[in-house]
Structure 1
Amino acid sequence: MRHGLVTGTALLLSGCLTTAGPDYVPPDLETPPAFRGAGAVPGDAAPQVAWWRGFGDPTLDALVEQALANNLDIAAAQARLEEARALAGGSRADLWPTLDADAGVSGTDELMRTPASTTRSGGNDLTGSTDAGLTFGWAPDLFGGRRRAVQAAEAEALRRELVRDDLRRQVAAEVVARYLDIARDRATLAMIDAALDLQGQTLALVRQRYAAGLVAALDVSRAEAQEASTRARRGPLRESLTKARAALAVLSGQAAGFAADSPAPTAIPVHHAGGPDVGLPRDLLRARPDVRAAEAELIRATAGIGIAEAALYPSLSLPGTLTLSSAGLGSASVVTTMVGTLAASLDLPLFDAGARRAELSAAEARAREALVTYRAALLDAVAEVETALGALDAARGRVEDLGEAVTASEAAVAQSRDLYAQGLVGFLDVLEAERTVLDNRQALLDARADTAQAAAALYAAIGAPHGPPASEPATGRT
């Protein structure tokens, strides 16, 4: 009978439950109709499972996969995600009744004594008792405070998942950027070696003419100075290589010295697709994990309003017990009893000097802040895409122009050396031509590296796919 009363009360109260606070409605965020620079960069509409594979470099592919699997920041984010999922499960459990069990046993040894002595006269009787019970507790979620808490916990779990995914996006982009830095430095070193060969030939020519008495020692000194100056360019490049390799090691969760043994590129990779199909700015709302994480935070903050509002209303708790006891075990008379209780406790908030109202106002302010942060995240994402589009278009234009400049300056070097050998021009003309070709080659190399970097930055900015986390199947993600 009492069990039926508890069940009936639960069903009755469940039918009367309501949910405090506003339901989340996705805000209508204003975005530009299109990216201004999208037309200047033809995109590849084919889906990319892992955009960095477009560089066609197995070494780069292996480095990115290694970093995504071993990066410590990603591992920490995964642990925080698992914590949030566990807490969300605990919040859902708060919606259900609790049931606990307890049991006990006790015994008494009664000695039979004579009135005149304290010695044992007839033996002893061992009697005992047992009891077992169930404790029931339920606090009906009358105004939805706990359901809003579940929504908040689930939104936090989603946010942490998206933060982890955004870390993967950033780590992949950072690995590609550092790898391209290494490619730039190694290509520059190769270019310097080629320039030193050319300047060595020039120095040999100057020395021959000096030995023949055709030129002054000043030309020899100038040629030697230029060769030494070119050799000095190698030092900063080697330092830069060391830093980039150390950064790659840290991204992969390894000691910095490990990266020195990693294969190094011998040329600047070129992304075969050239650039992604950037779509529309509004697409970033679903493509960029950081933008989606900002929306998840807004969902959590909106649920927080309901949590604070529910605290303004009464709360009900229904404790109950069911106890079964047996006494007199071991004796001629055993008594068994069963006792059940059910109570109800209603908590009515009457006066708290405005504390609950203040918490509600604070929750509403946090929701407004989350909305502003969401809008700012979208604007930042749009700006990143626009910047990458402009950088890619500008770098491609520089490659074309500098290619022509290198061709012309190489011809000028050959002509100036021939004329100098004939005594028709001074050595300063040769030096200027060699400096110009070296500078133009360096600028062309930098422009090619900038093109690769801008393409990588554009893929990262639009939130291009990067594959599922190593610890989870793709179908298991929300």
Structure 2
Amino acid sequence: MSELAKKSALLRGLAGAGFLLLAGCMVGPDYVPPEPDAGADFGATLPGEAGARAEETLWWRGFNDDRLSGLIAKALGENYEIAAARERLLQARALVEAEAGAGGPQLDGALTGDVASRTGGGGQNGQTEGEVSAGALFSWVPDLFGGQRRAVEAAEAESLARALLEADIARLTAADVARRYTEARRDYARLGLVNQSLELQRETLRLVETRFEAGLTARLDVKRAEADLAATRAQAPQLERSAKAALHALAVLTGERAGDFAKAGIGEGSIPAFEGGPAAGLPRDMVRRRADLRAAEAELARATALIGVEEADLYPLLSLPGRLSFNLEDLGSGNVAELVVATLSATLDIPLFDAGTRRAEISAAEAEAREALLLYRQAVLEALSEVETALVSVVSARARQDYLGEAVAASEVAFQQAENLYSQGLASFTEVLDAQRSLLSNRQELAIAKSDLALAFIDLYAAAGAPTGPRE
């Protein structure tokens, strides 16, 4: 066997032994997914939802509003927070590749040149000699006890957590768009009611002025009608400001300038009314769907893997550096195998005494894993609470909307009767004002109740972790 073949066989043998060692040991605990205490069902349910699974379609389509769907699609594609989260995900994926590559053999090339000059005696010219050599540098730290593999596990879990947090930002962004859209529609609807109220109050003022000019009523009634008219006018600027603020927030969510966005007429139209299917589903489904909960679980997996990373420092560390080199000028002068110089060494670093540092780092990693488990369980409880609260909000908002609808119908009749009786001199102007104020107030409250119901459904779907479409 040639000298080069012997050296090559030695390298292969050492590498094979290293791989056998790699397969035999793995420090640290293996990750076991926690079993969340989610319960069998939610305490509050909507009609037709008890025990039902949540729909897997895009929840905002339940509003049957193409403009809203378009805004959410735009936000999911152009929102800067989502884009930044995607970049964080790419960072994490690159770190996984870096960790995976760090555990393998490393090979680098080397090229060296030397020049030497010698001066001749008796004033003769000196001679210049040069030498060029090439080679390869090899290094490998075998992962004898699995510390590097645990580091890769931790990096993979971190990458998964980043991906899930990106999905969770999408969940929150979609809900925020729907909220701001509903708020803008609500405020513009209330502005429309203010204009209707002003027209109604102007008619009442004309009636009072006619009766005053005829000597049938006092100036006090005229002033009271004028005061109510002015008070109603005062509502408009505040509602306009609130509507514009909602539109400006929508602009930010969709990656646009606020000034341009406010001119798009997005607030024009009725208040969104939800007509979709089951939202909450079962608690265990919610835990499975909520990206933030799955991200918290991924953080637990990462913390668990880091225990193994720290435990690996308790054990010996084997390093295998090597070098192959040859002089380029000698390549044509003899047997190549005799020209190649190969060196391979092994270093075993054995930890003996560190004043408890390594054990303390393991204890810290174990405490971090316990903390991650507690944070996961806390996140599950908070998510369950969000769903329960949203369910109650939907039930109460729906009931309030129904009652206010009845109140508006009754107050319309009461106002018409009071105004008719007043024009005949059979009722006081106070009764007219009371009936009118009740009607206008109930109309405004009904608009608020409609938006509250829509917002409650939005909160419910967001809390339930309803899907927002495929993510990377």
Unaligned runs of 5+ in 1: 470-476
- 1:416 matches 2:440: no
State the distance in 2 between where 1:308 and 1:356 align: 7
Given the alignment of the two structures, is residue 103 of structure 1 paired with residue 111 of structure 2, yes or no? yes
**Cα separation, partners in 2 of 1:207 and 1:40, compared to 1, 3 Å:** same
Distance 2:391 2:133 in 1: 77
Aligned positions of 1:421-440 closer than 5 A: 421-440=423-442
TM-score (norm 1): 0.92
Match of 2:71 in 1: 63
Q: Name stretches of at least 5 consecutive residues in structure 2 with no aligned partner.
A: 1-5
Residue identity opposite 2:15 in structure 1: A
**CA-CA distance at 1:336 after TM superposition:** 7.5
- Structure 1, residues 85-110: CA drift from partner, whole Å, max 9, x if none? 00010000012100111113445576
- Comparing 442-451 with 422-431, greater Cα deviation is found at 442-451
Query: Partners in 2 of 1:328 and 1:25 — Cα distance?
Result: 60
Q: Distance in 2 between matches of 1:329 and 1:95?
A: 34
C-alpha displacement at 1:399, in angstroms? 1.3
Matched, 1:25 2:32: yes
Which one-letter code corresponds to 1:381 in the other structure?
A
* In structure 2, distance between residues paired with 1:444 and 1:226: 20
Equivalences for residues 162-311 of structure 1 within 5 A: 162-262=164-264, 263-273=266-276, 275-311=277-313
* 1:443 correspondence with 2:450: no
Partners of 1:326 and 1:223 lie apart in 2 by: 107
| Structure 2 equivalent of residue 473 of structure 1 | none
Q: Could you tell me whether the CA contact under 8 Å between 1:128 and 1:330 is conserved in 2?
A: no
**Cα distance change of structure 1 residues 437 and 147 upon mapping to structure 2, 3 Å threshold:** same
DSSP 3-state at the match of 1:340: strand
Conserved in 2, the CA contact under 8 Å of 1:316 and 1:345? yes
Paired residue type of 2:92: A
Q: Does 2:15 correspond to 1:15?
A: no
Does the CA-based 8 Å contact 1:41-1:392 persist in structure 2?
Answer: no
Counterparts of 1:307 and 1:45, CA distance in 2:
41
Q: Which residue of structure 2 lines up, in the alignment, with residue 355 of structure 1?
A: 357
In 2, the alpha carbon distance for the partners of 1:298 and 1:64 equals: 32
Partner-residue secondary structure (3-state), 1:413? helix
SS of the residue 2:97 aligns to: helix
Q: Return the alpha-carbon distance in structure 1 between the equivalents of residues 85 and 455 of structure 2.
A: 27
In the TM superposition, residue 130 of structure 1 has moved relative to its aligned partner by: 2.1
| One-letter amino acid matched to 2:166 | R
The CA distance in 1 between the partners of 2:135 and 2:26, in whole Å, is 34
- One of 97, 103, 108 as aligned partner of 1:89: 97
Contact kept? 2:279, 2:464, Cα under 8 Å: no
Q: SS where residue 38 of structure 1 aligns? A: coil
Asked whether the equivalents of residues 46 and 391 of structure 2 are also in contact (C-alpha less than 8 Å), the reply is: no
Q: How far has the Cα of 1:46 moved from its partner? A: 7.6
Q: Deviations over 1:431-478 (max 9, x none)?
A: 000000111111111111111111111111111111124xxxxxxx4x
The 5 Å alignment of 1:396-411 reads: 396-411=398-413
Which shows bigger deviation, 429-438 or 62-71? Answer: 62-71
8 Å Cα contact 1:326-1:337 kept in structure 2: no
Is 1:54 the counterpart of 2:62 in the alignment?
Answer: yes
Match for 2:200: what amino acid?
L
Q: Which amino acid aligns with 1:147?
A: R
Matched length: 461
Deviates more, 1:47-56 or 1:371-380: 47-56
Deviation at 1:258, TM superposition (A): 2.5
Deviation at 1:125, TM superposition (A): 6.6
- How much has 1:350 moved relative to structure 2? 0.7
Secondary structure of the residue aligned to 1:214 is: coil
The alpha-carbon deviation at position 16 of structure 1 amounts to: 2.5
- Write the letter of the residue equivalent to 1:8: G
Report if aligned partners of 1:270, 1:452 keep a CA contact under 8 Å in 2.
yes
Cα deviation for residue 330 of structure 1 reads 12
CA contact (8 A) 1:19 1:144 kept: yes
Cα displacement string for residues 301-337 of structure 1 (whole angstroms, at most 9, x for unaligned residues): 0001101111111110100111112457999xx9983
Q: Matches of 1:77 and 1:224 in 2, distance apart? A: 56
Task: Among all aligned residue pairs of Structure 1 and Structure 2, give the percentage whose two residues are the same amino acid.
Answer: 49
- Find the aligned partners of 1:237 and 1:339 in 2 and give their Cα distance: 85
Is the 8 Å Cα contact of residues 55 and 279 (structure 2) preserved in structure 1? no
Deviations 1:404-432, CA, capped at 9 Å, x for gaps? 11111000000000000000110000000
Question: Is the 2:279–2:460 Cα contact (8 Å) retained in structure 1?
Answer: no
1:474 alignment counterpart: none
Q: Quick one: which amino acid aligns to residue 70 of structure 2? A: A
Q: 2:45 maps to which residue? A: 38
- Contact persistence 2:182–2:451 (CA under 8 A): yes
CA distance in 2, matches of 1:131, 1:267: 81
* Partner residue in 1 for 2:461: 459
Question: Helix, strand or coil: the match of 1:467?
Answer: coil
Q: In the superposition, relative to structure 1, how do residues 372 and 83 fare at CA in structure 2: closer, same or farther (>3 Å)?
A: same
Counterpart of 2:97, as a letter, is G
Q: Structure 1 residues 8 and 378, CA, compared in 2 at 3 Å: closer, same or farther?
A: same
In the alignment, the residues of structure 2 paired with residue 294 and residue 398 of structure 1 have an alpha-carbon distance, to the nearest angstrom, of: 37
Amino acid at match of 2:272: P
Distance, in Å, in 1 between the alignment partners of 2:441 and 2:49 is 30
Look up the SS of the partner of 1:33 in the other structure: coil
What are the Cα deviations for residues 256-297 of structure 1, in whole angstroms up to 9, with x where unaligned? 222212222321011221x53422111122200000000000
CA RMSD across the alignment: 2.2
